[in-house]
Structure 1
């Protein structure tokens, strides 16, 4: 087995656990970064589907303070979360046994918890966050029987811990789906080691979903999309001073750990044979990777069309990366 000790040391020094820690704690507690109005799902973009509507309704009831900030910050990320949650539920319906889902660094773990509640035993989910405030939000609606929360950063979740802790042992055989939700970009640009480490927990034919913001070799184009995000979307939910303050305190640090889509593709290809982009919103993308093309095709068959106005989309979706 590879020695990841230097990688773990790198993670411990990361912005997410140091200079950005106070931002995440205050936002997760609802003390700052809260939008002036709560983002709501635009159902016109998602179409009609009974399972999807049930997911949206429960998801609305389970959201916490960080969810409100996050979904108000990225154009139509809320609709994408519902789209992915619906697709995972559809994918689980065809599984011969229980689907194991790992939602990596997704604040309160709302999407994973919602999936597990609706699946009624067909999906065992694990969410993780280093913020106790997110754990409090997760537990605010009771301790769900099929959704687990690991209080700690993603690099603390290692194989020996999965095997030794009673509440985590059910995941020791690996995950069928892992979702990394804008987490790696808060630690470092070292996607190769990040993906390789987390992929140890994925089954051989499992799916790895990445939602990330990517930098661009065209700086002007990157900034143009940022301006569109800030003034065309975020301005609906935040005061101009709040948008400027976040750029200064958070985004300038986070941008240093972003990679280009081409660099991400190279890192993904070290571990996986297939990778597709399934969603785009300005500088943000959803990528779906696996060594099993049939499983990718099965997942994408249950994935409804991207729920986002065309002016925010800069890629032909879906496409191979």
Structure 2
């Protein structure tokens, strides 16, 4: 994280690697769900330089975040009808809080967001776009977030924990210790809550990893960046990022050790997105509210694994209801 701090500051201030065209999805005409379209528009309207760079770098993550946000809103609406409660999202080191702000606005305040980020420049964008009544920002690393912090007056609305947590490719910038990292954020998850993990993963076969990188760089990223910019990022940043990446199996093993249910939602180039929970009914309800994946099939390299839940061993050695 420290080695890349200068690069992140440059990206967050818009000094380098700015997408050369609008982030509006070129698949927009295929999106039939007006809720997903609304979320898409909110997401790009409030995106700062660093988050815009992220959306332009990860193939079809814009469409995926919109799909997830629309489904989370529907889940919150259904549960609110039954219980009358409101809900909360913790975004783990999530740039300028663009996704959390979009979710808070799209849900009309039914879901309120809390975003951590160690990059101070991200707060400028957050403050410019955020509704303070719905979204809050903590300009420090996720590992500076503690139960004691959430008891302070500034963040007291989250003192009971979070219904949803979203880790957006954050852990890889620290180290490979997913056991400790996952344990740290799980302490903030309410019973039955959902936690999402979007990570760039290593691959046991280096050639396969590079093949997936090529389709990302040569087919998708050239929409937004020059060849020179793509080469620069590959040389300056990706080596450090790979130092903190884990394989799909390593991530699944760490998740299955801490959650009863682990579900692979999405795959794109070397990126995968999981949802995990100790409440199988909440995962099932959420998945049933999801619309279809919005991306060309050739970017999904883990398609055969999508939808697979990972069973966990019970204390008696029997398989749980994962």
TM-score (normalised: structure 1): 0.91
The answer to whether residue 72 in structure 2 is matched with residue 88 in structure 1 is yes
The answer to whether residue 90 in structure 2 is matched with residue 102 in structure 1 is yes
- State how far apart, in whole Å, the 2-side matches of 1:118 and 1:237 are: 27
For residue 293 of structure 1, the aligned residue among 272, 280, 285 is: 280
For residue 211 of structure 2, the aligned residue among 224, 233, 237 is: 224
Q: CA deviation at 1:119?
A: 2.1
2:36 aligns with 52
For residue 235 of structure 1, the aligned residue among 215, 218, 222 is: 222
1:9 aligns with none
Describe the superposition over 1:126-156 as per-residue Cα deviations: whole angstroms up to 9, x where unpaired.
1111112111101112543111111111000
Q: For 2:148, what is the secondary structure of its paired residue?
A: helix
- State how far apart, in whole Å, the 1-side matches of 2:119 and 2:30 are: 32
2:128 aligns with 140
1:193 aligns with 180
* Deviation >6 Å, runs of 4+: none
- State how far apart, in whole Å, the 1-side matches of 2:216 and 2:55 are: 12
Tell me the C-alpha RMSD between the 2 structures.
1.3
- State how far apart, in whole Å, the 2-side matches of 1:256 and 1:142 are: 33
The answer to whether residue 307 in structure 2 is matched with residue 318 in structure 1 is yes
1:269 aligns with 256
- State how far apart, in whole Å, the 2-side matches of 1:229 and 1:118 are: 29
Q: CA 1:45/1:262 → structure 2, altered by over 3 Å: closer, same or farther?
A: farther
Q: For 2:153, what is the secondary structure of its paired residue?
A: coil
2:101 aligns with 113
Q: Is 205-214 or 83-92 further displaced after alignment?
A: 83-92
Number of residue equivalences:
304
- State how far apart, in whole Å, the 1-side matches of 2:29 and 2:214 are: 23
Describe the superposition over 1:61-112 as per-residue Cα deviations: whole angstroms up to 9, x where unpaired.
2111112211111111111111111111111101220111111111011111
2:315 aligns with none
The answer to whether residue 115 in structure 2 is matched with residue 127 in structure 1 is yes
Q: For 2:69, what is the secondary structure of its paired residue?
A: helix
Q: CA deviation at 1:306?
A: 1.0
2:318 aligns with none
1:247 aligns with 234
For residue 72 of structure 1, the aligned residue among 45, 56, 59 is: 56
- State how far apart, in whole Å, the 1-side matches of 2:272 and 2:129 are: 31
CA contact (8 A) 2:44 2:52 kept: no
- State how far apart, in whole Å, the 2-side matches of 1:233 and 1:277 are: 22
Structure 2 unaligned spans of 5+: 311-322
